[in-house]
Structure formats: C-alpha cells, structure tokens
C-alpha cells in the first residue's frame, strides 16, 4: 500500500488533500495529511537541516520527517520560487542519504518551474490509470478551489473587525475549511462562495473606526500561522483591521502578471526586482500608506535574503512618510511572549498616534 504525504503549509494542505483524494487509486494508495506545524515539527526540521538554511526549509523537512515516521512512503514536495525551488533536491538527499528513509520522493518542480510532463509521470505511481485529461480536469478544479479558499479567507480577514462577536466568524471559517476537504465540483464552489459571503455579510454590523494594520514580508511566514506565532489571528481577535496580500493563488496565478505593476508602484525606491516577494513588500507598504493604514508589520524568517534586501528600503519609506513599520525575524529560538510584547508595544504606539 502506498501512503502519500506532503509538507504542511497553513490551511493549504486541505486543498492538496482534496486534489490527491480525487486522483489516487484508493485500493492501493491512501493519504496521510501532514499535521499542523508545531514545536516538534520545527525541532525535527532543525536537527535535519544545515544551520544557515532559511527557516521554511526546516519546517518543510520537519513536516516530511513526521509523516515518514508515521508511515508515509511517498512524499510530494510542492515548493517553488526563490530558494524554495531548490529545497526538494537537498531535502531528498538529506532524507535518503543522511537519515536513511526509504521512500519515493515526487518533486513537481524543476528549478523554479513546474515540470508538468515529468510531474504527471511521477504522480502516476499513485494511480497507474491516471490520464492526462483526468489530471488536467482535477487540476483545474483544484485551482478554482484554491481561488475560492483565498477569496473567502481574505474576505474574512478584511472584514472580521466589523463583526461584533468574533466567534461567529470563526465558526464560519471552520465550516469553510471543512468544506475545502470535500468540495468536488465547480458548481459547488460557486454555490459555497455565495452562501458564505452572504453569511459573513450578515455579521458585519459593527461600524466603529478600527486601527488598520498591514502585514507584509516573506510568503511562508505570512501563510503559515505557527511560523509567525499566530500574529494574524491575534490581531483579528483583538478587533484590528488587517490586510495581507500574499496568498497561494496570488503566488501561483497572479504574481507573474503583476510584476510590472508592482515594480511601478515601488519605482521611487526600486529600479529592479529584489527577489521572491521583497519587491511586493515595498510596493504593498506604499499602497497601505496610500490607503490610510496606521502601520505595517514586516515579518520574515531567519536567512531570508529577499526580505533582508527590502528592509533598508522600508526603513527609508518609514522615515520619508513618518509611517510606523515594525520588523520581526522569526527563527527556531523565538519566544512567543517576546514577540507578543513587541507587537503590543507597537500597537500601543499606533493607538497613541491615532489619539493625537
Ligand atoms: S523567500 Fe526567503 S525564506 Fe523563502 S525561500 Fe526565499 S530566502 Fe528562503
């Protein structure tokens, strides 16, 4: 029996599960969903990784080790973009040669591009009868599901501050995430989108002015709650209006189309792209200033070069516009309390500015 797993990244693992569930041969293959990132995953990853590698490498390899220890014998690595595009080759070597795990590794990326033909050949071990038409059909549904997930979770993020009882919107979010595991048609996606949007709109009764905080930075820290000490969730629960641009559908479907626009937005500070999402961090901070946000929190994992490049530019923007930006780097030794104290101090300062 093949037992297939994949590294965790936030709630997106549900979309991957949904896709695999529709393509595997269920008589000979089953799916082991990766657990959410936690301290144990990070420790496993840290022990297996080179010291200076960026932190998402550690999370993803830790997640794979945990699945291998729990019986997985096929691992799919989905990463791409920046150094992420080369993680898979190094991780495969570490897992097989250094840690002696015996398993099949399916890497869907070659360099920084999806190798579609190669990927189809490799993924056939999960179902030898899989045709290219079936994969294309299911992939199309998966992309629509990804767009739906991002649309509705972004809508929740943008509007939670206008809800009187945050638990009500949390309940809806939980229902949506459960649905993501089981949705099986475009028709269902459309119906769910309308249903959930209407449910959320019904809750938007609080019209008080809220402090507005943007969150920019590296993609993994932005999209995986544990790796940013649940920053986003914490700000939502405290009732602030928050904005985060980076989502998986933006990275997969829209990023390449937006490159010129993003560079143009950042043109007073940047002439060339600075890698990964560093250019976006600059452009989106300027956009947030224009939109009247009160402050920005820039987050990145240890070792993230593109965001290190963005930081001096953001500091200059902060001086030029007299605009508060807080910087935080997450590494394996982070203390949740230390981080929360920094965030609270930053918010106190934003509130004092607002009162003035
Ligand atoms: S964006 Fe940063 S953390 Fe992500 S792969 Fe690139 S260097 Fe590593």
Check residue 356 and give its pLDDT. 79
Q: How far apart are the first and last CA of the chain?
A: 66
Q: What separation in Å is there between the alpha carbon of 276 and the centre of ligand 1?
A: 7
Check residue 111 and give its pLDDT. 62
- Chain segment 168-226, per-residue pLDDT in tens: 999 999 999 999 999 999 999 999 999 999 999 999 999 888 999 999 999 999 999 99
Secondary structure element (H or E) that encloses residue 176, with its range: helix 166-182
Check residue 169 and give its pLDDT. 94
Check residue 120 and give its pLDDT. 81
Number of the ligand 1 atom closest to the C-alpha atom of 278: 1
Burial 80-117 (b: 16+ CB within 10 A, else e): bbbbbbbbbeebbebbeeeeebebebbbbbeeeeeeee
Ramachandran angles phi, psi of 329, nearest 5°: -110, 125
DSSP helix/strand/coil, 21: helix
Determine the CATH number of domain 2-128.
3.40.50
Alpha carbon distance 12, 14 (integer Å): 5
- Ligand 1 near 280 CB (within 6 A): no
Check residue 121 and give its pLDDT. 82
Check residue 112 and give its pLDDT. 65
Identify whether the C-beta of residue 335 lies closer than 8 Å to the C-beta of residue 325: no
Determine the CATH number of domain 209-356.
3.40.50.11900
| pTM score | 0.94
Nearest to 149 by CA among 298, 18, 326: 18
Residues in the chain predicted with pLDDT less than 50, given as ranges, are none
Which of 59, 77, 304, 307 should be mutated for ligand 1, with most atoms under 8 A from CB?
304
Check residue 334 and give its pLDDT. 67
User: Hey, where are the domains in the chain?
Assistant: 2-128, 131-206, 209-356
State percent of the chain over pLDDT 70. 98
């Amino acid at each position: 029996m093949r037992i297939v797993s994949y590294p965790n990244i936030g709630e997106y693992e549900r979309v991957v599960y949904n896709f695999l569930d529709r393509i595997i041969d269920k008589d000979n293959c089953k799916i082991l969903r990766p657990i959410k990132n936690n301290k144990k995953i990070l420790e496993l990853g840290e022990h297996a990784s080179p010291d200076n590698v960026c932190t998402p490498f550690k999370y993803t390899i830790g997640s794979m080790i945990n699945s291998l220890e729990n019986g997985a014998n096929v691992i799919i690595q989905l990463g791409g973009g920046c150094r992420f595009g080369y993680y898979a080759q190094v991780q495969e070597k570490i897992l097989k040669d250094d840690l002696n795990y015996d398993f099949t590794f399916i890497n869907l990326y070659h360099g920084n591009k999806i190798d579609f033909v190669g990927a189809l050949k490799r993924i056939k071990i999960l179902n030898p009868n899989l045709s290219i038409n079936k994969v294309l059909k299911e992939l199309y549904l998966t992309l629509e599901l990804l767009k739906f997930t991002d649309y509705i979770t972004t809508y929740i993020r943008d509007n939670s501050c206008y809800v009187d009882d945050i638990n009500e919107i949390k309940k809806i979010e939980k229902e949506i995430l459960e649905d993501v595991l089981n949705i099986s048609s475009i028709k269902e996606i459309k119906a769910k989108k309308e249903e959930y949007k209407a449910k959320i709109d019904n809750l938007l009764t609080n019209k008080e002015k809220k402090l507005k905080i943007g969150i920019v930075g590296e993609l993994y820290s932005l999209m995986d709650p544990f790796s940013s000490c649940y920053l986003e969730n914490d700000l939502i629960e405290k009732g602030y209006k928050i904005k985060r641009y980076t989502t998986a559908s933006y990275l997969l479907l829209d990023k390449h189309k937006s490159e010129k626009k993003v560079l143009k937005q950042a043109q007073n500070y940047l002439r060339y792209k600075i890698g990964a999402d560093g250019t976006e961090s600059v452009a989106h901070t300027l956009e947030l200033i224009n939109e009247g946000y009160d402050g920005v929190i820039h987050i990145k994992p240890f070792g993230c070069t593109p965001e290190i490049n963005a930081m001096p530019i953001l500091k200059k923007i902060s001086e030029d516009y007299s605009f508060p930006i807080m910087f935080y780097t997450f590494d394996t030794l982070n203390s949740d309390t230390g981080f929360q104290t920094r965030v609270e101090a930053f918010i106190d300062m934003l509130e004092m500015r607002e009162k003035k």
